[in-house]
Amino acid sequence: MIVLNGASSSGKSTLGRALQDRLPGTWLLYGVDDLVRALPPRLTSPEGIEFSEDGQVRVGPAFRAAEKAWMQGVAHTARCGVNVIIDDVFLGGPAAQARWQEALLDLRVLCVGVHCQPEVGEAREQARGDRVTGMHRQQAQIVHQGVQYDLEVDSAASTPAALAQLVVARLNHP
For the annotated binding site for ATP, the residues are: 6-13
Q: Which residues make up each annotated binding site? A: 6-13
- In DSSP terms, 88 is beta-bridged to 5
CA atoms of 114 and 150, how far apart (whole Å): 11
Q: Which of 36, 32, 30 is nearest to 2 (CA)?
A: 30
Cβ atoms of 162 and 21 closer than 8 Å? no
**CA-to-CA dists, residue 28 to 12, 54, 72, 125, 150, angstroms:** 14, 32, 15, 24, 20
Give residues with Cβ within 8 angstroms of 6, minimum separation 6: 12, 89, 113, 114, 115, 116, 143, 144, 155
- Amino acid present at 19: L
Per-residue DSSP letter, 126: H
Catalytic residues: 33
